[in-house]
Chain A
């Protein structure tokens, strides 16, 4: 399973699904627009290697690596 965590800087992927059923993380990511079929781009990674900054639906969002694992991409 390919997840957001493995995306390369500057690369864009399409969200397949958000895992972690019933968790606050899942609900938050979905509500912020990381829904299946959304395009998401990794803009940069913080100087110490975590968290990651993504561009989704025209705005910037930072997600920790351990949380990005829950987003399956293609």
Chain B
């Protein structure tokens, strides 16, 4: 069997990923296209020894997004042998437009006509033989859901031929001559690449125009070609090519498609009449969200989380580890590290997992059935006001579980400015790891006011997102030319079980990896720093008060003095919290010489506030003399940079050290200022903090913030009328 590489090409929402999963099973690995954050997913077809490269979902090969650029560069390269084009049988017009853009690459090509099982429901009949004949490419009906047609597809790939005949029929002779003339001025070896570049230059492709800006004779030919197209066909070259493509598609469909009723689209439209209704749309959205959180946080999720915490980590792991350590006659320090540090610390984190699995399962279903695009459609107007997009809703919802998958899911935001603001703001939403910090502070200081303070925290989270968006969107840096918000509303469909599970697994995996790496490492390091130091007998095990950690904490505590918490314990816990928010409660408890039982009383839901133990509460009152200082502490922990794992995801999505650096600095400064204002001005109002130099600073911060918030929007929206033809 020969070794082949297959390029998998198709629109978004055409079922490409489902087909890819069907073909390759679990033989996949995800990398990155060089230089960009676009995922490069490669799968292996085990029974044929073929590699399948899953190109991003595309509508065309224009130069306006990283996905399109990597795809077209790959399609012009020699790194593949066959194009497998996935075409949605229920939306042939739009799907074939991409087919006709890819076909001129001149490679052997096969069309997988996907979703053919839906054609019967649509009462549509497609003459597949006729379609193959007209396109000059073999068309194989498949179903990515049931796996029908896969073996026919594989044999078709083996005998695939380039689709040349279609092109000759599509473009008028005159246009072909113009393209060949420009091609002859290009110094590329590959004829297909020459053709593509020539055609793109005629369409005013900004990347190639820049690349060839010094090739004067070429550009003269290009502008002459444009003028000729204008004269001959009475339209500019940029719209000429799509017009020809769609005209050709109309002719093909007229001959091979019968009885078009599109019942599925009709059903989707009826559902949309209700769920995007001006009056019912929003209540339905809130009901769906409430239902998701009710199931994942209040009922099933909590039951599973409690079981994991109490039985799996509380009993099995602890007892198992104790038994093993006893058998191995391990020294006491090792037992203390393993039982208190590792099982306690890592277990506390993994305890969230069941809740997160339920949350992400439900969110994946809502996303994959097509509802989230409707939500994006409904809420876009509001979110845009804050520099975000309708597509930011989903990342923000995911962020209530874990910021890492939330940041990853910002990929779907086409507009780069809105994606950047979403990246900076979505981790302001308190994730599940931040809940125990809230529970701890509420239990100690706001036990009776929790019903007011808890909503206040969520209000502050939303306020932080909105204010940040308002401030940043005015900056020139967030007004780059963008690909527009043109979004398809796909027809509703039942999500495939396999896809839902795969997505949920991907999203949870980041969290588990984090528990095994960062949190494990911090737990060990903190345990070491808190138990060792320079005592009277030199370096060795010491009391926490004289440990290295106490020295480090005391050295940095002054930074937090203006925020009302200058104790070294609180400072150290903030630092470990910057690594992972899960560390805060555990670190504080370790440093305050509290027992594991006390730590375990700090749960992860508001109901558990009453259960927090008295020693814990008393110790916290020792660290934070004032309730307002404790609230400032909570604010700093909640709205400063997220954990290291989330920062890594953020760095990856920004794909730029400069942007990432800005985002991290912004978040730290924002959290510091917010905590300062809460402590100084809040304390002043309550009459518990005296007027001092930092009160002045706090008032200046508020004034500057209000100025930035209400500063008029400069008219720096990139004009859509920039001429790209710099000829």
A68 to B144, alpha carbons, bound, how many Å? 35
CB distance from B670 to the nearest CB of A (A): 28
Q: B724 and A23: CB pair below 8 A?
A: yes
Q: B377 and A53: CB pair below 8 A?
A: yes
Q: A30 and B238: CB pair below 8 A?
A: yes
A20 to B374, alpha carbons, bound, how many Å? 27
A17 to B242, alpha carbons, bound, how many Å? 12
Assess A24 versus B377: contact at CB under 8 Å? Given A35-B246, A36-B243, A58-B262. no
B86-104 near A? 1/0 per residue, CB < 8 Å: 0000010110010000000
Interface presence of A46 (CB below 8 A): yes
| Chain A residues positioned under 8 Å from B239 (CB to CB) | 17-18, 26, 30, 35-36
B60's nearest neighbour on chain A, judged by CB, is A31
CB contact list, A18-63 vs B, under 8 A: 18-33, 35-36, 38, 43-44, 46-51, 53, 57-63
CB contact list, B672-727 vs A, under 8 A: 720-725
Q: B486 and A61: CB pair below 8 A?
A: yes
Assess A59 versus B484: contact at CB under 8 Å? Given A22-B204, A22-B725, A46-B381. no
A residues neighboring B (CB under 8 Å): 17-33, 35-36, 38, 43-44, 46-51, 53, 57-64, 67, 70
Q: Looking at A22, A26, A62, which has the most chain B CB atoms within 10 Å of its CB?
A: A22
Assess A58 versus B93: contact at CB under 8 Å? Given A21-B236, A22-B724. yes
Q: A47 and B485: CB pair below 8 A?
A: no
Interface presence of B223 (CB below 8 A): no
Q: B484 and A64: CB pair below 8 A?
A: yes
B263-284 near A? 1/0 per residue, CB < 8 Å: 0010011001100111001100
Interface presence of B302 (CB below 8 A): no
| Chain B residues positioned under 8 Å from A67 (CB to CB) | 484-486
B residues neighboring A (CB under 8 Å): 59-60, 62, 64, 91, 93-94, 97, 203-204, 206, 235-236, 238-239, 242-243, 246, 260, 262, 265, 268-269, 272-273, 276-278, 281-282, 377-382, 384, 390, 481-489, 720-725
| Chain A residues positioned under 8 Å from B235 (CB to CB) | 17, 36
- A-B contact list, 23 entries, CB within 8 Å: A17-B235, A20-B721, A21-B236, A22-B721, A22-B724, A23-B720, A25-B720, A27-B64, A27-B203, A28-B60, A28-B484, A28-B486, A32-B59, A32-B60, A44-B272, A46-B377, A46-B380, A46-B381, A47-B378, A48-B378, A48-B382, A50-B384, A62-B489
Q: B380 and A64: CB pair below 8 A?
A: yes
Q: B242 and A46: CB pair below 8 A?
A: no
User: Which of A19, A20, A44, A49 is the one whose CB lies under 8 Å from B276?
Assistant: A44
A-B pairs with lowest CB-CB distance, top 3:
A22-B724, A31-B60, A48-B381
CB distance from A37 to the nearest CB of B (A): 8
A70's nearest neighbour on chain B, judged by CB, is B720
**Additional A-B contact list (12), CB under 8 Å, known A48-B378, A64-B380:** A22-B724, A24-B64, A28-B64, A30-B243, A31-B59, A31-B242, A47-B378, A50-B384, A51-B377, A59-B489, A62-B377, A67-B485
A50 to B276, alpha carbons, bound, how many Å? 12
User: Which of B93, B265, B384 is the one whose CB lies under 8 Å from A33?
Assistant: B93
A32 to B183, alpha carbons, bound, how many Å? 26
A65 to B40, alpha carbons, bound, how many Å? 34
| Chain A residues positioned under 8 Å from B246 (CB to CB) | 33, 35, 38, 57
User: Which of B64, B94, B236, B265 is the one whose CB lies under 8 Å from A32?
Assistant: B94
CB distance from B400 to the nearest CB of A (A): 23
CB distance from A27 to the nearest CB of B (A): 5
User: Which of B94, B242, B380, B721 is the one whose CB lies under 8 Å from A59?
Assistant: B94
User: Which of B62, B378, B381 is the one whose CB lies under 8 Å from A28?
Assistant: B62
CB distance from B257 to the nearest CB of A (A): 10
Q: A28 and B59: CB pair below 8 A?
A: yes
User: Which of B238, B377, B379 is the one whose CB lies under 8 Å from A26?
Assistant: B238
| Chain B residues positioned under 8 Å from A60 (CB to CB) | 265, 268-269, 488-489
Q: B91 and A21: CB pair below 8 A?
A: no
A62 to B488, alpha carbons, bound, how many Å? 6
| Chain A residues positioned under 8 Å from B720 (CB to CB) | 20, 23, 25-26, 70
User: Which of A24, A59, A61, A64 is the one whose CB lies under 8 Å from B481?
Assistant: A24
B725's nearest neighbour on chain A, judged by CB, is A22
Q: B489 and A25: CB pair below 8 A?
A: no
| Chain A residues positioned under 8 Å from B380 (CB to CB) | 46, 50-51, 62, 64
Q: A27 and B486: CB pair below 8 A?
A: no
| Chain A residues positioned under 8 Å from B384 (CB to CB) | 50, 64
Q: Looking at A29, A51, A59, A61, which has the most chain B CB atoms within 10 Å of its CB?
A: A59
A23 to B260, alpha carbons, bound, how many Å? 34
B235's nearest neighbour on chain A, judged by CB, is A36
